[in-house]
Amino acid sequence: MIRKGMKLYSILFGVCPKCHQESMYVNKNPYVLTDVVKMHEKCSHCNTKYQIEPSFFYGSMYVSYAVGIAFAVAAFIITYNILEFSLTVAFIAIVATLVGFFPVIMRLSRNIWINIFMSYDKTLVKK
């Protein structure tokens, strides 16, 4: 099970990587496109600054490449191998998946990126 204290919890739900108490994002819904990358400056619970250094989240572009590939491979396997559509349909499905999940991929990448540099700290929760 995924629970607080696991890196996966912070990655999937976009919560503060140190205390797991609140969302890093101003708007929890990634499909409000004007707010996709709008983040709080600090965690109001443990005071962790999310942007460790200027342009910190540019690094998440490396991660988004890997996450995008994962989504594309999943789309390909589902349409080509499981549903047994043609290659053309599989290609269209891949493009549609990458466009449709773009906000989710962006946020997942940021969450993974920040979780590479920060870890859960039990002592911050009790404050």
Instruction: State the DSSP code for 36.
Output: T
Q: Does 114 bind Zn ion (CB under 5 A)?
A: no
Measured from the CB atom, the residue of 18 and 110 that comes closer to Zn ion is: 18
Measured from the CB atom, the residue of 40 and 80 that comes closer to Zn ion is: 40
Q: Does 46 bind Zn ion (CB under 5 A)?
A: yes
Q: Does 39 bind Zn ion (CB under 5 A)?
A: no
Bridge partners (DSSP) listed for residue 25? 39
- Go through 58-96 and write b for each residue having 16 or more CB atoms within 10 A of its CB, e for each that does not: ebbeebbeebbeebbeebbeebbeeeeeeeeebbebbee
Considering the complex, what minimum distance in angstroms separates the CB of residue 44 from Zn ion? Answer: 8
List of residues contacting Zn ion (CB under 5 A)? 16, 18-19, 43, 45-46, 48
